[in-house]
Chains A and B, each alone.
Chain A
Amino acid sequence: MITLQEYLSVGALLFTVGLLIVLFRQNAISILMGIELMLNAANINFVAFSNALGGLTGQVLAIFVVVAAAAEAAVAIAIIVLLYQNLGTVDVEKARNLNG
C-alpha cells in the first residue's frame, strides 16, 4: 500500500528537479525539459489525488495539462528554432535584446 503522501513527495521532488533544471541551465531546450518535468510533477499530484478521492476529475485535469504541455512544447520549439535562426544561439543568457 502506497500512501498519498509518498506520491506527493515524488511529485514535490520531481518539481524541484524541474525547477533546478530551469534555473541551472541556459540552453532553451534544457529549460523546456525542466518545464515538462514540472508539469509532470503537477500531473502526478492530480492523479494521486484522483486515486485517493475516488473521482476522475483529477485525471481529466491531468489530460488538460498534457494537452497544454504539448501545445507549449510545440510553440516553444518553434520559438527556439526561430531564435536560433535569427541570433545564432539558443542560450537564453545571450538572447537578451527582448530585455530592452
Chain B
Amino acid sequence: MSAEKVAFFILSGLTLGGGLAILFSVRLMRAVVYLLVSLFGVAGLYILLNAEFLAALQVLIYIGGITILMVFGLMLTGPGQFVNPAESRLKAVAAGVSSLTTAIVLLLIVKKTKWPAGTQALAGDTTAEIGRLLLTDHVFAFEIASVLLLVVLVGVALFVRLARDGGKP
C-alpha cells in the first residue's frame, strides 16, 4: 500500500469518524470539535486531490469562520442547550432506514457507473488559474456570490437588530 493510500484512509477515517461522532455526541460543544476534525479530514482530502488552495480555503472559512460561528451560537443559546433531548424511537427508525437507503443507492450508483480512470495532471499554478477562471468564465457566478454575501450581511445585521429590540421590527 502506498503512502498516498494510507493518507487517504486516515483522512477519510477522520472525516467519516468525525461525522459519526457528531451524530452520537451528547454535548454540543464536543460535537463542534468533532466537526472540526471532520472538516480537517476533508481539507486533507483536498490536498490529496491536488487542490491546495481549496484546502487552505476550507481551513480558513470552515474552521476560522463557521465553527467559530457555531460556538457563538452555542454560547448565545444558553447552557440548557448543550445536551440534546432524547429522540422518539419511531423517528429514529425512520431516519435510520431512509439514510441507509440513501447510502446504499448512492454507493450503488458510484459502483455501477463507468467513471473515467486515472487522473489528468493539472497544469501549472492552480491558484492563479482558479483566480483567472473566477474572473473570466465564472464571473457571473462570482458576482452572484458577492451579491449573496451582501444580502447575508444586511439580513444578519437586521436579525441582530431584531434580537436586540426583543423581536419587534
Interface residues of A (CB under 8 A from B): 1-10, 12-21, 23-27, 29-30, 32-34, 36-37, 40, 43-44, 47-48, 50-54, 56-57, 59-60, 62-64, 66-71, 73-75, 77-82, 84-86, 89-91, 93
Given the known A-B contacts A56-B122, A78-B160, are A44 and B28 also in contact in the complex, defined by CB atoms under 8 Å?
no
Could you tell me the dominant secondary structure of chain A's interface residues?
A: helix
Cβ contacts under 8 Å, A75 to chain B: 152, 155-156, 159
Q: Is the CB of B121 within 8 A of A71?
A: no
Cβ contacts under 8 Å, A18 to chain B: 19
Chain B 141-169 interface mask (CB, 8 Å, partner A; 1/0): 10001001100100110011011001100
| A-B pairs with beta carbons under 8 Å apart, 16 shown | A12-B109, A13-B16, A37-B38, A40-B38, A47-B49, A47-B51, A51-B50, A54-B121, A56-B122, A59-B53, A62-B51, A66-B61, A70-B65, A73-B70, A78-B163, A93-B85
Cβ contacts under 8 Å, A27 to chain B: 28, 81, 84-85
Within 8 A of A (CB), among B41-76: 42, 45-46, 48-51, 53-54, 57-58, 61-62, 65-66, 69-70, 72-74, 76
Interface residues of B (CB under 8 A from A): 2, 4-5, 8, 12, 15-16, 19-20, 22-23, 28, 31-32, 35, 38-39, 42, 45-46, 48-51, 53-54, 57-58, 61-62, 65-66, 69-70, 72-74, 76-78, 81, 84-85, 87, 91-92, 94-96, 98-100, 102-103, 106-107, 109-111, 115-122, 126, 129-130, 133-134, 137-138, 141, 145, 148-149, 152, 155-156, 159-160, 162-163, 166-167
